[in-house]
């Protein structure tokens, strides 16, 4: 009986959306990382499915209807890019070189650490897109042969971590320029970093939002190089 009901698409949808809403309420009261609505919803959905002995495939008969919106939402990032493109013109050299250097550097670190820990091809591909927004990371990971669900988890964790440590890093390194702060938050920890950047100020927020998209595009452009590196070094 439970299995049949769980296979109904509305089971997965209601389960995940309700947990997300509960997470929002909890996060409002206790703003700790575990109560970030997305983190809470993922963890609690998994716990519920395991306790009720429901498979991921069964859950996904509903989950797919949420999942299919990722693509149009990613496409819609073009609107954010269009609205913030004016900010780019004012500091185009600084922003583009910052993001370019950052993305290349990030790839090098991922490759070096993956070699150190003797990760396989699949894990390296999973980690490669970790600093970009989930939608783009998901696509890049899939096209490089990574584990999509693990990429989502890694990306989410990166976002939560970046939002927490970002302000401290800026204090230590005396990064006081609001443009620099925004670009760093957006390119290093995507949408969650942007949430923090918006709290830091309007300039930071706009820059961070712009940087999410630019970093995503940079990672996509670099992906063929990443794929080549991964194939050369990890197989």
Partner 1 sequence: MKIIKQLFWLFLFSFLGELLSYLSPIAVPGSVLGMVLLFTALQFNWIGMEQVEDVGEWLTNNMAILFIPAGVGLMTNFGIISSVWWQLLVVIFISTTLMIALVGVVVQLIIRRSRVRSGQHAARVSPLWKGEKVSDPGTRS
Neighbours of 67 (CB within 10 A): 12
At 89, list the tokens.
Answer: 């013109």
Minimal distance, residue 223 CB to partner 1, in Å = 6
Minimal distance, residue 64 CB to partner 1, in Å = 7
At 223, list the tokens.
Answer: 């992906």
Minimal distance, residue 227 CB to partner 1, in Å = 7
Closer residue to partner 1, CB minimum distance, 26 or 74: 74
Closer residue to partner 1, CB minimum distance, 30 or 168: 168
Closer residue to partner 1, CB minimum distance, 6 or 152: 152
Minimal distance, residue 29 CB to partner 1, in Å = 18
DSSP letter assigned to residue 174? T
Instruction: For residue 165, give the H/E element and its range.
Output: helix 148-173
Is residue 190 classed as helix, strand or coil in its secondary structure? helix
Calpha distance 171→204 (Å, rounded): 15
Closer residue to partner 1, CB minimum distance, 6 or 19: 19
Q: What is the DSSP string of 30-53?
A: S--GGGSHHHHHHHHHHHHHHHTT
Considering only CA atoms, which of 221, 220, 201 is closest in space to residue 87? 201
DSSP letter assigned to residue 220? H
Contact between 126 and 157 under an 8 Å Cβ cutoff? The reply is no
Minimal distance, residue 199 CB to partner 1, in Å = 16
């Amino acid at each position: 009986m439970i299995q049949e009901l769980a296979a109904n698409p509305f089971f997965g949808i209601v389960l995940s959306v309700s947990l997300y809403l509960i997470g929002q309420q909890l996060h409002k009261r206790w703003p700790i990382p575990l109560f970030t609505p997305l983190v809470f919803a993922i963890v609690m959905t998994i716990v519920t499915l395991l306790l009720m002995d429901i498979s991921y495939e069964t859950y996904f008969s509903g989950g797919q209807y949420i999942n299919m919106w990722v693509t149009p939402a990613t496409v819609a990032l073009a609107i954010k890019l269009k609205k913030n493109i004016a900010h780019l013109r004012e500091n185009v050299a600084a922003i583009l070189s910052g993001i370019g250097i950052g993305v290349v550097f990030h790839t090098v670190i991922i490759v070096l650490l993956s070699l150190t820990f003797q990760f396989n091809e699949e894990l390296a591909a999973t980690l490669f897109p970790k600093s970009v927004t989930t939608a783009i990371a998901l696509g890049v990971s899939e096209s490089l042969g990574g584990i999509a669900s693990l990429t989502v988890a890694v990306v989410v964790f990166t976002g939560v971590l970046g939002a927490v440590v970002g302000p401290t890093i800026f204090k230590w390194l005396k990064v006081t320029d609001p443009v620099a702060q925004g670009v760093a938050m957006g390119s290093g920890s995507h949408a969650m970093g942007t949430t923090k950047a918006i709290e830091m100020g309007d300039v930071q927020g706009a820059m961070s939002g712009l940087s999410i998209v630019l970093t995503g595009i940079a990672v996509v452009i670099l992906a063929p190089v990443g794929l080549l590196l991964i194939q050369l070094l990890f197989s």
